[in-house]
Amino acid sequence: MVPALPPDPPQAFPDLLAAFSYRERATRIDERNGIPCFTNEFWTSGQRKASRLHEVSYRACFKPQLPAFFIERLTRPDDAVYDPFMGRGTTPLQAALMGRRPVGSDINPLSAMLLAPRLAPPSLEEIAARLAEIPLSAPLPEGALLDDLRVFFHDSVLARLAALRAWFAARERSGALDPVDGWLRMVCLNRLTGHSPGFFSVYTMPPNQAVGADRQRLINAKRKQMPPPRDVDALILRKSRALLSQGKPPPHPPALLGTAPAENAGFVPDGSVDLVVTSPPFLDVVDYRTDNWLRCWFAGIDLETVPIAAHKTPEAWQAFVQASLRDIARTLRPGGYLAFEVGEVRSGKVLLEDHVVAAAGGLPLAVEGVMVNEQNFTKTANCWGVANNRKGTNTNRIVLMRKTDRPNGLHRSMTCPG
């Protein structure tokens, strides 16, 4: 393995990828349409254990090792690292853990609720004391919503959840919601539903694949199960201890977090960002609305008012990506890097990375290459064919771009060194 490059001169980054080796395996370099593609095992989950503070599940989140790879090589302490589609906040949290300035946004307000408390956690004593202050139960919700909630939760659990939910809502309305409340709400959101007794619900899908009430009725019938009573407070404290077991993030510059569309995140100043590591929704593959309905109910978010992107056609998706890239380019300093991760969709028939490269056309972003993090070289790794995921290997495909001072006409900025 080669040591991390100092970030200056950043234009050497593609050379670093070309020279990278993992367990003596050299990077493979292919080229298509003049764009180099670097394939190697650039990061693995085992290489370096991620902080337990990341252990908040979210649909289609990436592993912390992915942003860590870029942050380590392309930024210095105190630099700003931004994710405009931050989900659970993997990129900004990793930035904070590495002493960088976390900058993050998502169109769903749920994201900031999941991230902000983990950037500045309270102590376990504060968490336990606040929990003891919150009234033990509150009246259950009514009507069809109650019928749906009872598919997941025992009435005693629902009464406690109703009390916690009412507390957070009242504290928010009065402006009194503090970091301890924020932490408790984040842990509750994380523990709502899941597939083990560590969650408040009866057995259901893992929390990153939450299901609707009708689907859960079928699961309950098939498994002949009823929602059991759970000790909600004990589960909150247990999860808090686990999240904090490796300590808090080190000192880092203050976070800048928002709830905004990636196409127009005006709260992030022009030219203020050193590195962007991000991953947008892939067409309409994940239904973030359905997945997050219970979390949004608990957090008091009306999902009807959140325009989460879901595009059926690659053309519509490309236009959305172009609008997002334009705003990302605005936030980047000259020479700053953008790592834009996409996944395999439509059984490999649509190559999203091609659409990202096309979307960068005309913007002040030079495409420096595509990186494929291929975690199993015993199977055939084909940079552009991608039969790998179906065979059980794990790939990330990342379009690497760099902020320039003129529009990109050629969609390329380097020649493939091999």
Ligand X SMILES: C[S@@+](CC[C@H](N)C(=O)[O-])C[C@H]1O[C@@H](n2cnc3c(N)ncnc32)[C@H](O)[C@@H]1O
Q: What is the DSSP letter of 194?
A: B
| Closer residue to ligand X in complex, CB, 199/288 | 288
Distance CA 6, CA 75 (A): 8
- Block residue for tokens 């394939």: 39
C-beta closer to ligand X: residue 39 or 105: 105
Residues lying near ligand X in the complex (CB under 6 A): 58, 60-62, 84-88, 90, 106-108, 111, 261-262, 279-281, 288, 308-309
Task: Characterise 130 by phi-psi region: left (phi > 0), alpha (psi -120 to 50), beta (else).
Answer: alpha
Whole-number minimum distance, CB 32 to ligand X, in Å? 25
Query: How far apart, in whole angstroms, are the C-alpha atoms of residue 399 and residue 343?
Result: 11
Q: Which is nearer to ligand X, 85 or 152 (CB)?
A: 85
- Find the residue with minimal CB distance to ligand X: 87
CB closer to ligand X out of 164 and 187: 187
For every residue of 268-327, DSSP letters joined together read S-TT-EEEEEE----TTSS-HHHHTHHHHHHHT--GGG------SSHHHHHHHHHHHHHH
**Is 403 in contact with 333 (CB distance < 8 Å)?**
yes
Question: From the CB of 131, what's the least distance to ligand X, in Å?
Answer: 26
Please state, in angstroms and rounded to a whole number, the distance separating the CA atoms of residues 28 and 338: 22
3-state secondary structure of 231: coil
CB of residue 262 vs ligand X: minimum separation in angstroms? 4
CB of 50 or CB of 107, closer to ligand X:
107
Nearest distance in Å: CB 79, ligand X: 19
Q: How far, in whole angstroms, is CA 94 from its chain's centroid? A: 11
Supply the minimum distance, in Å, between the C-beta of residue 369 and ligand X.
21
CB of 235 to ligand X, least distance (A): 23
Residues in Cβ contact with 189 at an 8 Å cutoff, skipping those fewer than 6 apart: 110, 113, 114, 295, 298, 299
CB of 63 to ligand X, least distance (A): 8
Nearer to ligand X, 82 or 153 (CB): 82
Count the Cβ atoms, other than its own, within 10 Å of residue 144. 9
**CA-CA-CA-CA torsion sign (166, 168, 171, 174):** negative
Nearer to ligand X, 88 or 412 (CB): 88
Report the distance separating Cα 4 and Cα 238, nearest Å.
37
Q: How far is CA 361 from CA 254, 324, 332, in A?
A: 34, 13, 17
CB of 156 to ligand X, least distance (A): 32
Q: Count other C-beta atoms under 10 Å from residue 252's C-beta.
A: 18
105 vs 216, which CB is nearer to ligand X? 105
